[in-house]
Amino acid sequence: HVPLNKHPHRIGKIESPSCPHCQRTEETVHHLLLSCPFYQRERHILVNALGHKASSISYLLTDPNATPHLVQYVNASGRLKMTLGEVPLPRKPPD
């Protein structure tokens, strides 16, 4: 599980599942990556790198071409830094 508010709330660890930045909805992976207005700048960079594919959770989470851009997004957002630290960029396989 990713340490976003929905899961810890569901298991009784925190009081609210809401996003700490916009309070609009539950903080989920979908919300963090695709809809929270707080991360608009980071999302813009992701969309510039990946085009329309950046709006697909399945693409972002499964396609190896998306991985470095997703890691950059997560690090730039700072949202998981307190729990996970800086997420390292994946190594490129040798040619």
Structure confidence at residue 15 (pLDDT) = 87
For the chain, state the CA radius of gyration: 14
Domain ranges of the chain: 6-83
Please list the ranges in the chain whose pLDDT falls under 70: 1, 82-85, 92-95
Structure confidence at residue 90 (pLDDT) = 74
SS (H, E, C) the chain: CCCCCHHHHHCCCCCCCECCCCCCCECCHHHHHHHCHHHHHHHHHHHHHHHHHHHCHHHHHHCCCCHHHHHHHHHHHCCCHHHHCCCCCCCCCCC
Structure confidence at residue 49 (pLDDT) = 97
Structure confidence at residue 39 (pLDDT) = 96
Q: How distant is the alpha carbon of residue 89 from its chain centre? A: 14
Structure confidence at residue 50 (pLDDT) = 98
Angle CA 11–15–19, to nearest 5: 95
Structure confidence at residue 85 (pLDDT) = 67
Whole-structure pTM value: 0.80
